[in-house]
Amino acid sequence: MYYLPTSSLVLFFLVFFFFFFSSNHLSCASTKEGLGWCEAMFECGNITAGFPFSGGSRPQFCGHPSLELHCFHNKTSIIISNHLYDVLHIDQTSKTLRLAKAELRGSFCTATFTSTTLPPDIFELSQTSQSLTVFYLCDRNNWYNSSYTCLHRGPVSVSKNLDYHKSCQDSFTINVPKSYVPEEKELNLKHLENALHEGFEVHVKIDEQPCEECVSYHGICSFKNTTQICCKNDSSSRCNPLHIPGANELHRLCSQPFTCGNQNGLLYPFWTSERKDCGHPDFELNCSSGFAELSISSVKFRILEVNYESRFIRLARSDYIGDLCPKDPLNVPFDESVLPLVPNTTQLTIYYDCNQDFSGYVSTYVGALACDDVDGKGNYYVTRNLSSPLLQGSRGVFNDFREFCDKNVSIPAYGPALTTLQTSSSRDNLKKALEEGFELGLNQECSRCFALQGACGYNRTSNRFACYYIVEPNVRARKKGVSPGAIAGIVVASASVLLFLIAGGLFCLIRRRRKTQTDQYTSKDLPVTSYSSRETSSYPTSTTISASSNQSLLPSISSLPNGSTYFGVQVFSYEELEQATDNFSRELGDGGFGTVYYGMLKDGRAVAVKRLYERSLKRVEQFKNEIEILKSLKHPNLVILYGCTSRHSRELLLVYEYISNGTLADHLHGDRAAPRPICWPVRLNVAIQTASALSFLHESGIIHRDVKTTNILLDEDYTVKVADFGLSRLFPMDKTHISTAPQGTPGYVDPEYYQCYRLNEKSDVYSFGVVLTELISSKEAVDITRHRHDINLANMAVSKIQNNAVHELVDPSLGFAKDPEVRRKMMAVAELAFRCLQQEREVRPSMDEIVEVLKGIKGEEEPDVVDIEGRGGDDVGLLRSSSVPPPISPETDKWTSSSDTATSSF
């Protein structure tokens, strides 16, 4: 019996910490040239938007995944919870959007009646808007219902409350301005349509503070999934994370005095370019002149002396050092909110170019100043604050100064120096008083910060003073009065508890793994299977997934030598796969999980190698999730997993059988659709095989959660291979649903899943209904170039089928009009799709029922294979197998298609 070595479990913790710490140094998922593109704005018509939105010239990584804007015919739109909204206005300052649901902007009675839930973590309904309930199919006998009736919808009422639920068969919510008052008994449809056309306002709840902080460091605001990140502003095609200093680093930087010009020992509020977090924005210093100078409203002030111990700073106006009559002197009041003037500071006021002779007013506090005036105008100065009681008798004189003098300048000056000037009025004493400058006290917040052993700085995001402290545990403990001995005791005790918990966890894991392996070897119902015709696994594989499926797979694999197998999964070396893929040069496609490459193993098997491009915990979980699911399942319509690399390899890689004929999406509306369209019999076979695979998954307790045409692969015989299980979830058999955050692809996601975050197998049924609709229509699930009511294919299909307009939905090239048998079968498939796309899960069929219905539609006379190249696309014949090797260029044969959502096929 094989037992898991304890060393393998220890590796689990090593793997965990390796991925956790390395994920902070990964590149952004961006292939654009230059992150400077994030500085561009989205522009469409009269809409302009930047962070946190993306779209247009702003790549997706520049904005939140849920805030991608689209521009079509100069009109902006956004997809929210699988529904299209017209964006009528964006106010970036208040982070407010005015939206209107596209399908409700036309005739109300012919619109699709569906509710949409705004994701609460992204949007919040504004106070100017309200949610109302529309009731329809109401009982005509109730007097309180509206007299307005929509065709096929019966009486319709709009209400603020839910009183009509008992008398109406159905309802949905709408968002409208608060100015709209619903007429519950006498509905005025015109008023309602105007309110829906006007739209409603929502607030975007994205926290912009991290972005503002990023910008303050000249970085680029970006997103990795829904997490804000900050990248360097360079021309690289990768996100080079910008280093933003932490509290400890800022404390070390800002607590160190610096030198500027002839001044040493400078600290807050002064700063230079490399110390911008350490000073107030208004006190940046220029050291190029040999002096330490700062500019306030274009006026330069020179630092004469700084003494933090004596708690004073002395400045002087640079333009008055050595010159009493500078050219065009400016009057700049000094802002004391950062550095207060000391009590003995007085405002010296100088009046220039006076048109009247005031020499008769010269006194103790008023003096004349001779400048080189060619026009004979006089200049005077006042040595006291103009509000001083000492000048009480001269108020009229100062009014005359202001009226008859062209210019006046108030300059702070040192009180004792002005007293000397008053005692001995002379040009030299005036010059000395201005050159000695004025004194300032220290910032009070900074003084308190110093007292607490902090370092003074400034947070440019919040525009507030900041005190940086050392946040090391031992420092905090000492501040609280804890002795070093007590700190040592706490550390020892904490370490002991941690070791005890780890030991207990290891013991439980060993017991659980041994029990699981014993059960697997002793169970008579677990068949031994192999996923390769050339190799046979030495270990049994269950066709169902046990409770141990959630245990980590990577550590156990990492302890095995290359080339061995573990529960049916072969372990490959990185070098082996590097050689097989010709150094990863033959790319097949990109997806949300990673890049896929074509390769040829030494044993001759053609393979597709999925390369995990991100070593984050989330991606590792998806990596393990896909192995856990595919290693235990065997079905002719599920893609085969050959193996994976070990944890010791340079990268995490998954190895699959190579499916050479592309995706179903390629054949329906992609590159392969025009030259080689698949005919109706083949499409019906594809539907049956896909449904069979999903039915098998549901029987095995698995929800795929990302059913779409890009995850349905086709081989050369057009046999289906369902792929991409990175988002799949194990479904407990004793539960009716599981709760999980909505993930998937717009156009395919179950609307009830979006509304209540409850997932069950009927979510796959809804997505399969969209696939059926694509099969009969050849249309994409979401296409913003279609009419706003038809952008979402599911809504379009429901509306067309309800109104007996299936002929407007189907692809006419499939023979719907000319072949009655094809028409009958396509109508039956459309009816089945309609059942799958119901809003309420309870009325949707199960996958087992879907398989039976599709087989019944096909009938026994339907051939298994057809010649898709036959005339008209409907001739019966034998599919030719192709021996053409896969193309080198991913542009001509994409094994999968990329996706802009949370996941895509491989």
For residues 626 and 713, membership in a common domain is answered with no
* Residue 431 lies inside a defined structural domain of this protein: yes
pLDDT tens per residue across span 522-535: 333 322 222 233 33
Q: What's the mean pLDDT in 783-808?
A: 88
Place of tokens 């050159």: 435
Residue 459 sits at φ, ψ, to 5 deg, of -90, 110
The CATH number of whichever domain residue 676 belongs to comes to 1.10.510.10
For residues 218 and 317, membership in a common domain is answered with no
Residue 176 sits at φ, ψ, to 5 deg, of -140, 165
For residues 380 and 316, membership in a common domain is answered with yes
Report the pLDDT value the prediction gives residue 500, as an integer from 0 to 100. Answer: 65
For residues 585 and 670, membership in a common domain is answered with no
User: Residue 663 has what DSSP assignment?
Assistant: B
Closest CA to 765 of 682, 845, 856, 852: 845
Highest mean pLDDT among 224-233, 605-614, 773-782 belongs to 773-782
Whether 525 is catalytic is no
pLDDT tens per residue across span 662-715: 899 989 988 788 767 899 999 999 999 999 999 998 988 888 888 999 889 998
Q: Sign of torsion, CA 734 736 742 743? A: positive
* Residue 472 lies inside a defined structural domain of this protein: no
Q: Band the pLDDT of 144: cuts 50, 70, 90.
A: low
The radius of gyration of the chain's CA atoms, rounded to the nearest angstrom, is: 38
Least confident of 96-100, 281-285, 383-387: 383-387
Residue 143 vs residue 88, higher pLDDT = 88
pTM: 0.42
Q: CB 87: neighbour CB atoms within 10 A?
A: 24
Q: What's the mean pLDDT in 646-655?
A: 74
Report the pLDDT value the prediction gives residue 313, as an integer from 0 to 100. Answer: 92
Helix axes 847-858, 680-699, angle to 10 degrees: 150
Q: Sign of torsion, CA 178 180 181 182? A: negative
Q: CB 358: neighbour CB atoms within 10 A?
A: 18
Closest CA to 339 of 384, 298, 280, 385: 280
Overall number of domains in the chain:
4
* Residue 385 lies inside a defined structural domain of this protein: yes
Written as one string, the DSSP assignment of 247-297 is HHHHHHHHTS-EEETTEEEE-TT-B-GGGGGGS-GGGBEE-TTSS-EEEET
Strands 641-645 and 569-572, bridge-based pairing: parallel
Residue 101 sits at φ, ψ, to 5 deg, of -65, 120
Q: List, in sequence order, every beta strand (DSSP E) within 494-586.
A: 565-566, 569-572
For residues 178 and 86, membership in a common domain is answered with yes
pLDDT tens per residue across span 447-498: 888 888 889 999 877 778 989 888 654 444 333 333 344 444 555 556 666 7
Least confident of 20-29, 343-352, 488-497: 20-29
Residue 194 sits at φ, ψ, to 5 deg, of -65, -40
Report the pLDDT value the prediction gives residue 196, as an integer from 0 to 100. Answer: 93
Report the pLDDT value the prediction gives residue 539, as an integer from 0 to 100. Answer: 28
- Is 602 annotated as belonging to a binding site? no
| % of the chain residues with pLDDT over 70 | 71
* Residue 707 lies inside a defined structural domain of this protein: yes
Residue 345 vs residue 372, higher pLDDT = 345
* Residue 10 lies inside a defined structural domain of this protein: no
pLDDT tens per residue across span 309-327: 888 899 999 999 988 998 8
DSSP run (H or E) holding 854: helix 847-858
For residues 649 and 737, membership in a common domain is answered with no
Are the beta carbons of 162 and 133 closer than 8 angstroms?
yes
The CATH number of whichever domain residue 557 belongs to comes to 3.30.200.20
Distance CA 752, CA 627 (A): 29
* Residue 118 lies inside a defined structural domain of this protein: yes
Report the pLDDT value the prediction gives residue 726, as an integer from 0 to 100. Answer: 53
pLDDT tens per residue across span 262-275: 999 999 999 998 88
Q: Which of 86, 277, 706, 893 is catalytic?
A: 706
Report the pLDDT value the prediction gives residue 397, as an integer from 0 to 100. Answer: 81
- Encode 612-640: b = buried (16+ Cβ within 10 Å), e = exposed: bbbbbeebbebbbbbbbbbbbbbbebbbb
How many residues can be counted in the chain? 906
Residue 493 vs residue 717, higher pLDDT = 717
Segments forming the whole domain that contains residue 631: 523-657
Distance CA 561, CA 538 (A): 14
For residues 613 and 747, membership in a common domain is answered with no
For residues 653 and 674, membership in a common domain is answered with no
For residues 444 and 532, membership in a common domain is answered with no
Classify residue 65 by burial, with Cβ atoms within 10 Å: 0-12, 13-18, 19+.
middle
Report the pLDDT value the prediction gives residue 361, as an integer from 0 to 100. Answer: 85
For residues 632 and 716, membership in a common domain is answered with no
pLDDT at 805 over 50: yes
Distance CA 100, CA 89 (A): 10
Report the pLDDT value the prediction gives residue 709, as an integer from 0 to 100. Answer: 92
Q: Band the pLDDT of 660: cuts 50, 70, 90.
A: confident
For residues 326 and 367, membership in a common domain is answered with yes
Distance CA 49, CA 423 (A): 65
Report the pLDDT value the prediction gives residue 4, as an integer from 0 to 100. Answer: 38
Strands 653-657 and 606-612, bridge-based pairing: antiparallel
Are the beta carbons of 864 and 718 closer than 8 angstroms?
no
* Residue 490 lies inside a defined structural domain of this protein: no
Residue at which a domain ends, from 423, 453, 483: 453
Report the pLDDT value the prediction gives residue 116, as an integer from 0 to 100. Answer: 74
Are the beta carbons of 686 and 768 closer than 8 angstroms?
no
pLDDT at 830 over 50: yes
Residue at which a domain ends, from 224, 249, 279: 224
* Residue 820 lies inside a defined structural domain of this protein: yes
For residues 587 and 538, membership in a common domain is answered with yes
